[in-house]
Amino acid sequence: MPSLIDLMQEGRTIQQHSPWPRAVADAHLWNFAASELAQGRWSLLGLWGEPSTVHMAIIDRDTADIAVVSLDCPDRVYPSVGKYHPPALRLERTINDLFGLFAQDLPDSRPWLDQNRWSVRFPLGDRISALSTTAPYRFLAAEGDGLHQIAVGPVHAGIIEPGHFRFTASGETVVRLEQRLGYTHKGIEGLMRGASVERGAQLAGRVSGDSTVAYAYAFSKAVEAALQLAVPDRAVWLRALLAELERLANHLGDIGAICNDASFGLMQAHCNVLREDVLRAANTAFGHRLMRDVIVPGGLVRDLDENGQAAIRATLDNIPVRFPALVELYDNTASLQDRTVGTGVVTAALAKQYAAGGYVGRASGRAFDTRRAPGYPPYDDLRFEVPVLDEGDVNARVWIRIREVEQSLSLANQILDRLPGGPLRVPVGAAAGPREGMALVEGFRGDIMVWLRLDGGRIDRCHLRDPSWFQWPLLEAAIEDNIVADFPLCNKSFNCSYSGQDL
Amino acid sequence: MRKLLFQSFFQGPFTEPAPALDPTAVEELAAALQRAARRRLGRSLSIREIDAGSCNGCELEIHALNNAYYDVERFGIRFVASPRHADVLMVTGPVTKNMRDALERTYHATPDPKWVVAVGDCARDGGCFAGSYAVVGGVSQVVPVDLHIPGCPPPPVTILQGLLALLDRTAKDATSIA
C-alpha cells in the first residue's frame, strides 16, 4: 500500500506549491486516491475546482501528511470521488455549479449553491446564460404510512442565518432531515479572482463573521506560504492570542445558547455576560470587538499595548472566577441533562468518515486538531490538551466546548506571559510568476483550509473551505430518530456556518 | 442554581445606562417616518430580524443587544419570531440573489405600518461584496429602507442608538398629535 508521499511521486509535481506537495495526476491515480479515502486510511480535506482542473486535498490519518492531487479535465468531466466517498458529494455538486465541471457517475447531480437566480451559469467557468425555467428542487424521498413533511426556512424564527430544512416526521420523530443551503452565497471566490492580496484578506475575513480571525489567519498564512515569507515572532504569537480570544467568545456564547434551546435561559444570561466581556477586552486591545481586519498577510496591523494587555488579563482572570459555577450548574441540573444527554448522536464512524473537525469531531472520538498536527507556531511551543469524548451527543459537544474554554484561557495566559517583542509586520512583495500556497488553521468550529495561487501580486484563484462542509451532513444523521423539538438543540450544538459553507 | 440566583440579589445589575442619541440617525428618521404611522406605534417596537446574506457578523452584535449589559427589552424593544408580529424588519447582508425573494416575501408578510432598518455596511450598498454575480446590493434595492445603521458590524451600542432614535421620534410625534 503506497503512502500519500509515494502516491505524489507518481504524479507530476508542481514546484511552486508550498508548504505541502501538489502533483498533477491521471484519472487512474485520482481514482486510487478516491478509493483510499473510501477505505478510511486517508481523510478528505477539500475538493475544489478551476476552469478546467479539479483539486483534492488529502490528509493521512496516521502521519498527518498532507498533499494536493490535481486532475486536468479538458473535457469538462472527471471521475467522481463522491461515488465512493460521500463527504465529497456536496463539494462536487458545487464544482459543477461554479465551474461546469461534471463528476462522472455522481450519485446526486442536483445543484447545490446555484438556485438559478444568478442570471449566469458556471460563473467561475464558461459563464453561460441561466436556464430560462427553474425546475423545482427535488427533495429526497421518505415514504411510509403517516409521514408528514415540515418545511423550515430560509427565514427562521430566531436571529440566525438563512437556510432551508426539510423534515419528514412520523408523529414527533424525525425520519429524515434534508438541508438545502446556498442562500447566503455571495460569490466570494469569484470576487477573489484578480483581487489584490489586501482585498483578499478583507474578503477572507468576511467569509464567516464568527470566524473572522481564523479566516484572516488562514488566508494570511496561505499567502505567506506562497511567497515563502517569514512573519515576525511577535505577530506569530499575537495571531494565536486573537484566535484563542475568538474561540473563547464563541464557545461561551454557544454553551449558553445550547442551554437556552433546552429552555434554560439562566445559563445563557450568564454565559453571554462572559462573552461580552471577552468582546469588550478585544475591542480595547485591538480596536474591534470581533477583531476584524487585524490579521493581514505579513503580520498584524495593530499592536497590543499595555492598556490592551490589562483588559485581556482582567477578562482572563474573571472567567475562572465565574465560569466554574456555571459548569456546575450545567452538570447538576437534571432537566437540562435530560435534554442534552443521548440527544443528537454522531457515531465515531461517521465523524471519522467525514473527517469532522472541531468539537463535532472531538465529541465523537476524532482527536484531530490542526494546532497539534500538522501543527503550526506558536502552538508547538505551548502547553495545551485536545479534549476528546466518545459519546457524540449534544452533552459531549457541550463538554468539549467547556474543556476548550479552559484550554483557551490557559493558552491566552501563556501567550501573554511570553509575548516576544520586535516588529509586527513585514512587507508583502509581489513575486514574479505563479506561486501557490496553502494553510490549515484551527478555527473555533474546526479546521479552516485556504488554498490560493498568486500571480504577480494578484490572486489568480483562492479557495476557502469551511469546517462546516463536513459537519452539516452529520447534523442530518444526528437528528434521525430524535424529536422535532430537539432540532434547535442539536443544531445549536453543531452551530455550523451557513455563510462559510455558502461562501 | 439557588446559590447563583441568591447571589444576584446582592450583586449590582450588569445593565448599563442607555446611550445618547446619534443626531444623524434621528435626522434620517425624521424624513423617513410618516406622522400618522408613528402615532400608532407607541413606545414599543417588535423587530423581526432577517439575514439576507450577511457573514453573520451583524447577527452576532444584534444578539448581543439581548445580553444583560444592553438589555434591549427594557426599552420596549423585542425580537419576535414572525414578520406578522413585527413593526420593524431589521435586515442585514448584501442581499444575495438567492435571498431576494425571501426578503420580499418577508417584507410583504409584515403588516403596515412597518419600518425597515438596514444594519451594517453590506446592507447599505453591498459593502465589499458589491459587484458580485450573486449579490443584489443594498437592502434598499429590494425593499424601501427607513434607517441605515452603519458598521462592519455596528457594535451593539450603535444599533441601540439607532433603535432608540426610532422610538424617540415615534413617542414625540405621538404626543404632539394627541
Q: How confident is the model at residue A431 (pLDDT cuts 50, 70, 90)?
A: confident
Is the CB of residue B89 less than 8 Å away from at least one CB of chain A? no
Contact criterion met (CB below 8 Å) for A191 and A203:
yes
Rounded to a whole number of angstroms, the distance from the CA of A3 to the nearest CA of chain B is 39
**Whole-number pLDDT of residue A123:** 96
Q: Give dist(CA A235, CA A225) in Å, integer.
A: 15
Write out the three cell numbers for A151: 418545511
What are the residues whose beta carbons fall under 8 Å from the beta carbon of A155, sequence distance 6 or more? A162, B50, B83, B102, B106
Q: What is the pLDDT of residue B113?
A: 87
Contact status, residue A81 vs residue A95, Cβ threshold 8 Å:
no
| Contact by Cβ (8 Å): A434, A455 | yes
Average pLDDT, chain A: 95
Contact A23, A8 (CB under 8 A): yes
Chain B contact set for A190 (CB, 8 A): 132-134
Q: How many CA atoms lie within 13 A of A266 on its CB side?
A: 16
pLDDT of B38 above 50: no
Burial A392-414 (b: 16+ CB within 10 A, else e): bbbbbbbbbbbbbbbbbbbbbbb
A483's grid cell: 424529536
What's the pLDDT score for residue A6?
Answer: 80
Strands A102-104 and A77-79: parallel
Cell for A162? 438563512
pLDDT of residue A335: 93
pLDDT tens, position by position, A135-158 = 889 999 888 889 999 999 899 999
Rounded-to-5 percentages of helix, strand, coil across chain A: 45, 20, 35
B68 in A contact zone (CB under 8 Å): yes
Amino acid at A48: W
> Which triple of cell numbers denotes residue A22?
501538489
Return the higher-pLDDT residue of A312 and B37: A312
Question: What Cα–Cα distance (Å) separates residue A274 from each residue in A23, A280, A288, B68, B118?
Answer: 47, 10, 17, 10, 28
Whether B72 has its CB under 8 Å from any CB of chain A: the answer is no
Question: Which residues, 6+ apart, have CB-to-CB distance to A479 below 8 Å?
Answer: A174, A177, A344, A486, A487, A490
- Which of B46, B47, B51 is the mutation pick for testing A, counting most A CBs within 10 A? B51
Residue B98: which of A183, A208, A333 has the nearest Cβ?
A: A183
ipTM value of the model? 0.94
Q: Name the percent of chain A lying above pLDDT 70.
A: 100
Q: Is A52 helix (H, G, I), strand (E, B) or coil?
A: coil
Interchain contact, A118 vs B97, CB within 8 Å: yes
Q: What is the pLDDT of residue B23?
A: 65
Mean of pLDDT values over B136-160: 95
